[in-house]
Amino acid sequence: MHDVDFLSDEWLAALDTAARNRAAPEDDPLVSVSMTIDHVIVDGPHWRLTIDDGALSVTPAPEGEPDVRLTSDRETAAAIASGRRAALDAFISGDLRLGGDVRRLIDERAALEAMGDVFATVRADTDYAPRSAR
């Protein structure tokens, strides 16, 4: 794969491919989880991670309300997605806002952790610099 631009259609497609191709362990705790998590970029697009009894997918600009919504600006999203900043740090500082049924994140924590770093290859192949900075 070649470098893809952060938040581009190609980047979202790469996320979806990585999600769908996740190598699930035999005793996958995600098989009992069904939930949706949206990430809304206030100055950009938004997308949805869907967990459907262990099957994962990423779709752009979804309709309807998610179970959980993460909202941030582009800079914060890039820092989190690239691994330069922890989501918890962004949340504590107010740069990442949570909405919807946040309790689901707590209730499904162990299962969500089992996802592992499903997007590691996408992260490594992503150009996070804004086009205007190139």
Domain count, the chain: 1
**What CATH number is attached to the domain comprising 46?**
3.30.1050.10
Stated pTM of the model: 0.90
Output the tens digit of pLDDT for each of the chain's 134 residues: 468 999 999 999 999 999 999 988 888 999 999 999 999 999 889 999 999 998 999 999 788 999 999 999 999 999 999 999 999 999 999 999 999 999 999 999 988 888 878 999 999 999 998 765 54
Answer yes or no: is 130 within a domain: no
For 45, the token pair is 């697009």
Answer yes or no: is 91 within a domain: yes
CA distances (Å), 95 to each of 31, 74, 98, 130, in order?
A: 32, 10, 10, 18
Range of the domain at 91: 4-124
